[in-house]
Structure 1
């Protein structure tokens, strides 16, 4: 029984009505411009002049609604005053990224939905004026009827039923009815605006596709960052652990080698901290700096760090590396880094053969090391296996349309081989 009165007890009901009435007031400055055309046509009938003024007024309100700033302001106000969960509008740059997807799906282009904001603004102003005028009239009637100030002929008529306050109690009943109707207009206006807001201020089909495309790009970027973080931090911790063990072993017998190992630990951990700071900044949606762009040009530094860890590295480099640029060069560096990390973690010592061959159509990468389990020889260091390294490498290679192979080579060695097409990835 009392459920119908609950909206009357909510503050959001009255803030929504206030929002509608403020829209009506905001349209008043346009009224002088709307009456100029009728004034220039004095011979027209009064009804025609009024219709013309109303038409010009509506056009002016609609033109203001075409501005993108107006849409942003209206969305923010609707969220605050109506309590409607509306997302921020998609800006032009992000909409352009998803417009091709929208057209391919048969949805209207982003600009085709701009009419929705003018329609919302016109409905907002119309509801505000209708609600405000009716509320004022009903409140005035509620004040005038009890004292008989409205005249003997005053009264209420609804559906053939009439109430004329000829006596005192009837005038009070009429005043109460007017007051209740005036109060009931607030939830009615608020309800109408809340129903219209998602349809006219919410994202259109093109915007929803653009948001979905943006979300897909964000997920792909976060997945790439996860690979980068796994490769960079995993390699650095593995190399630093081995280097620290080597430094501890030779600290007394060969201080120069120990210092070199410690210096290598400092350099590799500093580089890993740069990668970590960038990734965390992106994940926190902060304004990050330039992404660390490690590529094949940084391969000699990577191999030097392995040598400082006591690993014998046998590089076999061939081809024109100038053809390998951008995404392909960065991915090749990370693939080799992960392969060398696995060699450090799971190899049985001995030389590690690193192959990089840049051909006209493909880039071939290879890492071959001796298989082994248990602690690293001469260091006592052992490493747990997460199981994410090889699957992550395979996924990275698949995204570049490459070929991936990892497994035993002969009775003693483990071989990682990757072939990446140059033209499709450059």
Structure 2
């Protein structure tokens, strides 16, 4: 089929045509009352296009009208995949279905309703003229020329009847396509999301991305820590070949695994239940269990805590716990059971976390550059702080500073 005839096979060609015609329905209802459609003059036709305008402007002031127009435009101007040729891409409507939230929205809705009115009237008149002329050219019109209301000259019988009729039909076809396309373009501009709606959508999308990243970090830190402790404990127990040590190692693996399962269950509840309340997340007041698991894995942890850690803001304390967990996990994973110096210092303005451990090899040959340390830096940045990681004087250091205000 030629390309210019392909729209004839697409449902949205006809839904758009119907949408344009429906926009002028109020004009014909009001015109039947005033000024009347019995032998209308040019002045009467002008009144048909003007009389309904105040009614439409008044209707546009009702917020829900914008939602109704948005839904109608989505269904008829931008139908979904069911109305498309198989394999054809469905274009994004870009039409808002929210009620008017400001006077700017109301004004845009009023302009849209008036545009639909005038476009629909124009399409009805053009369609009537073109179809009437085709009937007159082919002799199917039973009205005399002086009363048929046609504006186009009608050629007499002869060889031109067929080409003139084809041209008129093509003109009608082009008018339908043009009216539907122009209406779709204008709909995107007048019924599209307002700046406030666009901002709300962007904020919601950003929140979803941040939540996904947070959940990924939670799983990485919690499950990664549990698996690291389990691996280190299993290796140490096998090397020691001591029943008493093996029992302690299994107990540490059990406790760490149980805590990881609790974290996993909480994250899964977030994913399943959305905004439903979930169990409390651990914070720095629960740091002792991290230290116990690290010590059980063979690390010698020296802790220095200063300041009112228990009075830290919730987000800072919870994120600080995860940073500490990841730092200790990195020690066990990359350096093994080595001495670790941990400092937690809180005052009125900031929280400082510092984890230092001896490097097993030459300073600088750490191999630490995975997602765990990147997660620590990302957490610190989201809270307005900073985190530095790397070799320092023969040790590996994780240093975090988080503002409390």
Tell me the TM-score normalised to structure 1 length: 0.71
C-alpha distance in structure 1 between counterparts of 2:168 and 2:391, whole Å: 89
Is 2:78 the partner of 1:79?
Answer: yes
C-alpha distance in structure 1 between counterparts of 2:325 and 2:203, whole Å: 31
Q: 1:173/1:332 Cα in 2 relative to 1: closer, same or farther (>3 Å)?
A: closer
**1:115: Cα distance to partner?**
2.0
C-alpha distance in structure 2 between counterparts of 1:50 and 1:131, whole Å: 14
Q: Which of residues 262, 268, 274 is equivalent to 1:287? A: 274
C-alpha distance in structure 1 between counterparts of 2:143 and 2:32, whole Å: 34
**1:253: Cα distance to partner?**
1.7
C-alpha distance in structure 1 between counterparts of 2:265 and 2:231, whole Å: 19
Q: Secondary structure at the match of 1:115?
A: helix
Is 2:329 the partner of 1:331?
Answer: no
Q: 1:84/1:310 Cα in 2 relative to 1: closer, same or farther (>3 Å)?
A: closer
Is 2:257 the partner of 1:257?
Answer: no
Q: Secondary structure at the match of 1:163?
A: coil
C-alpha distance in structure 2 between counterparts of 1:5 and 1:48, whole Å: 34
**1:155: Cα distance to partner?**
9.2
C-alpha distance in structure 1 between counterparts of 2:236 and 2:8, whole Å: 77
The aligned counterpart of 1:112 is 104
C-alpha distance in structure 2 between counterparts of 1:237 and 1:323, whole Å: 31
The aligned counterpart of 2:143 is 150
C-alpha distance in structure 2 between counterparts of 1:148 and 1:224, whole Å: 73
Q: 1:302/1:34 Cα in 2 relative to 1: closer, same or farther (>3 Å)?
A: farther
C-alpha distance in structure 1 between counterparts of 2:233 and 2:20, whole Å: 70
The alignment covers a number of residue pairs equal to 382
The aligned counterpart of 1:305 is 293
Q: Which of residues 416, 420, 426 is equivalent to 2:398? A: 416
Q: Which of residues 177, 181, 184 is equivalent to 1:191? A: 181
Q: Which of residues 114, 124, 128 is equivalent to 1:122? A: 114
Structure 1 unpaired stretches of 5+: 39-44, 96-108, 375-382
Structure 2 unpaired stretches of 5+: 37-42, 84-89
Q: Secondary structure at the match of 1:122?
A: helix
Q: 1:90/1:296 Cα in 2 relative to 1: closer, same or farther (>3 Å)?
A: farther
The aligned counterpart of 1:99 is none
The aligned counterpart of 1:396 is 379
Q: Secondary structure at the match of 2:360?
A: coil
Q: 1:152/1:74 Cα in 2 relative to 1: closer, same or farther (>3 Å)?
A: closer
C-alpha distance in structure 1 between counterparts of 2:50 and 2:22, whole Å: 24
C-alpha distance in structure 1 between counterparts of 2:32 and 2:231, whole Å: 79
C-alpha distance in structure 2 between counterparts of 1:189 and 1:296, whole Å: 65
The aligned counterpart of 2:19 is 19
Q: Secondary structure at the match of 1:89?
A: coil
**1:149: Cα distance to partner?**
1.3
**Contact 2:344–2:351 under 8 Å retained in 1:** yes
**1:372: Cα distance to partner?**
1.2
The aligned counterpart of 1:106 is none
C-alpha distance in structure 1 between counterparts of 2:45 and 2:184, whole Å: 33
C-alpha distance in structure 1 between counterparts of 2:390 and 2:48, whole Å: 85
Cα RMSD (Å) of the superposition? 4.3
Q: Secondary structure at the match of 1:372?
A: coil
Give deviations 1:261-297, integer Å, cap 9, x for gaps: 3422431431352365368x39xxx836556632113
Tell me the TM-score normalised to structure 2 length: 0.74
Give deviations 1:175-229, integer Å, cap 9, x for gaps: 6555444433321211221221221122344544444454444444444444434
**1:345: Cα distance to partner?**
1.7
The aligned counterpart of 2:226 is 236
**Contact 1:90–1:211 under 8 Å retained in 2:** no
Q: Secondary structure at the match of 1:80?
A: coil
C-alpha distance in structure 1 between counterparts of 2:50 and 2:391, whole Å: 86
Q: 1:400/1:49 Cα in 2 relative to 1: closer, same or farther (>3 Å)?
A: closer
**Contact 1:155–1:174 under 8 Å retained in 2:** no
**1:359: Cα distance to partner?**
1.9
Q: 1:146/1:417 Cα in 2 relative to 1: closer, same or farther (>3 Å)?
A: same
Give deviations 1:216-270, integer Å, cap 9, x for gaps: 4444444444443433333222122113334545676226325413422431431
